[in-house]
Structure 1
Amino acid sequence: MIWNALRQAGRVPSDLSVQQRFRVQQRFSHRVLGHLGVQLELRGLEHIGEGPYLIAPLHEGIADVLCLLRLPLPMRFVARREIFGWPEVGPAITRLGHLSINPEHPLGGFRDLWRGAESILGGGESLVVFPQGTVLGLQTDFQRGVFEVARRVGVPILPVALSGTHRIWEHPFAPTLRYGQRVALTVLPPISAEELQTGNLEAIRVRTRRAMKAAALAPGSPPVRFFEPDRDGYWDGFRLVIDPDYPELARRMDARRGSLIPETA
């Protein structure tokens, strides 16, 4: 069913309007989430205005996309370049006009993100950028690029906390597809374009990161994914920074990566 839905998405006209793309993507989300029996709890919808926003969610897995598409906002997504080469998935997201970047090349990736954001947001759609840039777990840090792009383009950021999506499909750590999982999606108050223009971006980044992770860990929420490198791998060569609020894990990762650097005379 999922592959068939992706094939259908890959055959839509390439010149969809904003509202046509919104309807196609929402139908896809409803169909797949309904089939999987996902119990989605939407919280904080009162914080959503007209947009467009640069939407900054936590990232646990591919199912994040399906859940975010339940928000009442036309949106496109930023995805790693290699995903555009996946069977069925790649043609669908290419046809729907999502944005490809290469985060392993920071300067080029930021340039592509900035230019794509100007075009998409200028056309009235929100753009989803995962500030962690990885599905490894809650302890990964937020990258600065999301906040810098929002400042340059002049749009507000809409923070969204997600928890429980990794239980649906924990790719690339496990192949199991699970039904009937509970997921919480919590929309936090937006960060205004004015604050992003005049405020300290580093302070805003840290404050936002802590607020989103606290929301995901709130009592009664579905369990979040925690990164355990001895189980999940250390991802050598992958651009990965651990949140300094998790100092023991940060120390372990720094020690591991330091051991891989050849000693110099």
Structure 2
Amino acid sequence: MHFAPEGLATRLRFALLGRPLIWSRLKWAQRFPESLTPAQRLNIQRTLSRRILAHLKVKLELHGLENIGPTAAVKGPYLIASLHEGIADVPCLLQLPLMMRFVARREIFTWPEIGPVLSKLGHVSINPEHPLGGFRDLLRGAEEILGGGESLVTFPQGTIAGIQSDFQRGVFEVAKRLGVPILPVALTGAHRIWEHPFAPTLRSGVRVGLRVLPPISAEEVRSAHPETLRVRTRRAVKAAAMSAEMPPARFFDPERDGYWDGYKLDIDPDFPGVAHQMSDHRAAFLKGTA
């Protein structure tokens, strides 16, 4: 992984403290046995994530914790449906008072140091470009993890392109089949911490907003159509993300960011300008004229 810290002070601090911290903590996490309890897994993940956030001086603002607290109307474990802006989302989400595991692209499990830790901690590997296989892996992982009392964090957009990315249906099909509550989460600002894969820029002191919305109960999930759940969750999360109290979300610009040909990237129809731009490009691409 390539990091390009922004500013002389950040470069020096990262070279002397940050890089050694990241790699030493990843190696530390690899030393634990695979047979971890949920509480042990949470402690390892939270210790690692808090040290990284502290080094980067992330200004994390948490909202809506009453929706998952002791007096919450809908109890977990939850199938968490979060917006996705980058790898820095993970340490931010780990500050929620929940035992959780994550769903991640299969390619990330091949990354040096990070991949072995993800495997050791029992996170779920899927390939979004193979919908049937990806859905089966997600369903099996969700059944095991939620059945064991942990929440499972999913990123229904399946990409970090920007807020205009549509939500895929698989997460909501899984919730319906298992009859589990959905926890919508809006997260913005994290894309500025590390701009990978668009740039290697690494920043310190970034403001990140994380808002937990009211869960959709298991009863509501069982009675609703997955498509209804998908659109309802997508609109609620994105409305919260674009509210004035949240840091600016990442917006996708195909001319700047590329069209992600070969990747599963659908544009939310509530953003018709980008949706039409992508549709026209994909049609031309399939004809070999893009």
Q: TM-score range by the shorter chain?
A: over 0.9
AA aligned to 2:254 is P
Deviates more, 1:198-207 or 1:145-154: 198-207
**AA of the residue aligned to 2:144:** S
Match of 1:195 in 2: 220
Equivalent of 2:100 in 65, 75, 82 = 75
**TM-score, normalising length from structure 2?**
0.89
Asked if the contact 1:160/1:188 (under 8 Å) is kept, the reply is yes
- Unaligned residue ranges in structure 1 (runs of 5+): none
d(CA) in 1 for partners of 2:239, 2:24: 37
Question: Equivalents in 1 of 2:88, 2:139: separation in Å?
Answer: 25
Q: Secondary structure at the match of 2:184?
A: strand
Residue of 9, 16, 23 corresponding to 1:3: 23
| Corresponding position of 1:14 | 34
Look up the equivalent residue of 2:242 and give its one-letter code. L
Q: Distance in 1 between matches of 2:34 and 2:159?
A: 29
Query: What amino acid sits opposite 1:167 in the alignment?
Result: R
Aligned residues: 263
Displacement after TM superposition at 1:140 (Å): 0.3
What is the root-mean-square deviation of aligned Cα atoms in Å? 1.0
Aligned to 1:40, what secondary structure does the other structure show? strand
- Aligned partner of 1:102 among 127, 133, 142: 127
- Give the partner amino acid of 1:12: F
* Aligned with residue 205 of structure 1, among 217, 224, 230: 230
Whole-angstrom CA distance in 2 between matches of 1:121 and 1:203: 22
Deviation (angstroms), 1:201: 2.3
CA contact (8 A) 1:11 1:92 kept: no
| Matched letter for residue 273 of structure 2 | E
* Matched residue, 2:258: 233
Residue 210 of structure 2 aligns with which residue?
A: 185
CA distance in 1, matches of 2:230, 2:134: 19
Q: Structure 2: which 5+ residue stretches go unaligned?
A: 1-20
Is 1:157 the equivalent of 2:182?
Answer: yes
Q: Secondary structure at the match of 2:158?
A: coil
Q: Aligned equivalents of 1:77 and 1:204: distance in 2?
A: 20
- Once residues 94 and 286 of structure 2 are traced to their aligned partners in structure 1, the CA distance between those partners, rounded to angstroms, is 42
Residue by residue over 1:33-54, the C-alpha shift from the partner in whole angstroms, topping out at 9 and shown as x without a partner, is: 0111000000000001541100
Alpha-carbon deviation of 1:204? 2.2
What residue identity is the alignment partner of 1:237?
G
1:200 CA drift (Å): 2.6
CA contact (8 A) 1:11 1:95 kept: no
Question: Residue in 2 aligned with 1:135?
Answer: 160
Aligned equivalents of 1:142, 1:33: Cα separation in 2: 28
Q: Structure 1 length as normaliser, TM-score?
A: 0.97
Determine whether 1:27 maps to 2:47: yes
SS in 2 for 1:166: helix
The alignment partner of 1:83 has SS state of helix
SS for the counterpart of 2:240 is: helix
Q: Distance in 2 between matches of 1:260 and 1:166?
A: 28
In structure 1, the residue matched to 2:114 is 89
Letter in 2 for 1:20: Q
Question: Which residue of structure 2 aligns with residue 253 of structure 1?
Answer: 278
For 2:57, which of 37, 40, 43 is the aligned residue?
A: 37
Q: Which amino acid aligns with 1:161?
A: A
Deviates further, 23-32 or 194-203: 194-203
Distance 1:160 1:106 in 2: 23
Tell me how far apart the structure 2 counterparts of residues 176 and 106 of structure 1 sit (CA, whole Å): 32
Q: Which moved more, 1:46-55 or 1:252-261?
A: 46-55
1:147 paired with 2:172, answer yes
The letter of the residue matching 1:84 is F
Paired with 2:267 and 2:23, the residues of 1 have a C-alpha distance of 34
Q: CA deviation at 1:11?
A: 1.8
What secondary structure sits across from 1:20 in the alignment? helix
Match in the other structure for 1:169? 194
- 1:125 and 1:204 map into 2 onto residues whose CA distance is 22
Would you say 1:224 and 2:249 are equivalent positions? Answer: yes
Give the deviation of 1:3 after TM superposition.
1.7
- Greater mean deviation of Cα atoms: 20-29 or 3-12: 3-12
What amino acid is aligned across from residue 10 of structure 1 in structure 2?
Q
For the residues of structure 1 that align with 2:104 and 2:67, how far apart are their CA atoms?
25
Secondary structure of 2:202's counterpart equals coil
